[in-house]
Amino acid sequence: MSFVLALSGGVGGAKLALGLSRVLPDEDLRVVANTGDDFEHLGLTICPDIDTLTYALAGVDNPATGWGRRDETWNFMAALAEIGGETWFRLGDRDLATHVERTRRLRAGETLSAITDDHRRRLGIAARILPMSDDPVRTRVRTEEQGWLDFQDYFVRRQAGPTVRALDFAGAATARPHPEFLAALADPALRSVVICPSNPFISIGPILAVPGVRDALAACRAPVVAVSPIIGGAAVKGPTAKMFAELGLGAPTASGVAAHYGDLLDGYVMDAVDAGEATRIRGPRVALAQTLMKTLDDREALARMVLEFADSLRG
């Protein structure tokens, strides 16, 4: 039985992961989640990308926000504000159960992997969701205006406003990759690796920064295909486009993302509107598709296309 391994951040990545989960047979998908966005807040360990993936794959995600749960209420936040608690990071009443229970279990000595896996099974998800590491990795950004900031301080509290000059994935150098992550990359049953259309710097970057991951991807015999998060020079969501210039990488382009991944890629999928850039991409084979995923059909269609394209690259 073959399986597909996807690398994903939050919103955009979770859309394609959902598409993959719907077009692949049950249990044929494993998704490695970025944990660089994780942080401690109100005494709780919050893992935004794991949660966005879990909620999306379980069909309980909030389609309006892209994060959190659908049919959500906000009475916890309202009451927290009354007693002077911090409210810049909004936690819905349903969503909060995930953080409280995860934190309790982590304190009791369970691993993030084990908790994540138990939660996804209880929510009826067939795909595996693998935290990139059980060791804490915490993304920090060096900003022009405020110096080094914790990621969520930059991303949520300051709404990605400050100018980012550098990134650091604290803890990454000594983090051990999820054991099943490297094993999957070396597994002959691996059909393809899909790098989801997530921010290459802050969503995929931390995954690639875990020791051993780049080498294992390079050594991997299955095709590695990335999907561009940039469409027509803009990101669908988040600060991806803005970060290009801030990090000195020039204008945000689909070809720029391919160049950033360099020789990790065997294939690269970008939107048809960016067809003109195809000739600028050195290395990976390029395929064009409709990469904007508005509907569930869009997610499934892109997932099918990416899988077929990857299959066509098998040596």
Asked if residue 145 lies in contact with residue 158, where contact means CB atoms within 8 angstroms, the answer is: no
Among 1, 26, 83, 248, binds its own copies (CB under 8 A): 83
x/- map, 189-228, its own copies, by CB under 8 A: ----------------------------------------
Site for its own copies contains 292 (CB under 8 A): no
**Count, residues near its own copies per rule CB under 8 A:** 33
Instruction: Kindly state the smallest distance separating residue 15's Cβ from its own copies, in Å.
Output: 22
Among 65, 66, 89, 100, interactor with its own copies by CB under 8 A: 100
Of the residues 69, 138, 178, 191, which one makes contact with its own copies according to CB under 8 A: 69
Which residues are bridge partners to 227 per DSSP? 269
DSSP string, the chain: --EEEEEE-SHHHHHHHHHHHHHSPTT-EEEEEP-TT-EEETTEEE-HHHHHHHHHHHT-B-TTTSSSBTT---HHHHHHHHTT---SS---HHHHHHHHHHHHHHHTT--HHHHHHHHHHHTT--SEEEESBSS--EEEEEETTTEEEEHHIIIIITTT-SPEEEEEEETGGGPPBPHHHHHHHH-TTEEEEEE-SS-TTTTSHHHHHSTTHHHHHHH-SS-EEEE-SEETTEESSSSHHHHHHHTT--S--HHHHHHHHGGG-SEEEEEGGGGGGGGG--SSEEEEE-----SHHHHHHHHHHHHHHHHHT--
- Binding test (CB under 8 A) with its own copies, winner from 25, 59, 88, 104: 104
64 binds its own copies (CB under 8 A): no
Residues 106-125 that bind its own copies (CB under 8 A): 107, 118-119, 122-123
- In this chain, which of 25, 27, 97, 189 binds its own copies, going by CB under 8 A? 97
Q: How far is the CB of 163 from its own copies (least distance, A)?
A: 31
Provide, rounded to whole angstroms, the least separation between the CB of residue 276 and its own copies.
47
Which of 70, 80, 247, 260: binder of its own copies (CB under 8 A)? 80
Least CB distance from residue 76 to its own copies, whole Å?
A: 5
Per-residue binder mask for its own copies (CB under 8 A), 25-44, x = binder: -----------------xxx
Rounded Cα distance between 109 and 55, Å, is 24
Of 110, 15, 109, the C-alpha closest to 59 is 15
**Looking at 72, 135, 150, 311, which residue binds its own copies (CB under 8 A)?**
72
Which residues make up the interface to its own copies (CB under 8 A)? 42-44, 69, 71-73, 75-80, 82-85, 92-98, 100-101, 103-104, 107, 118-119, 122-123
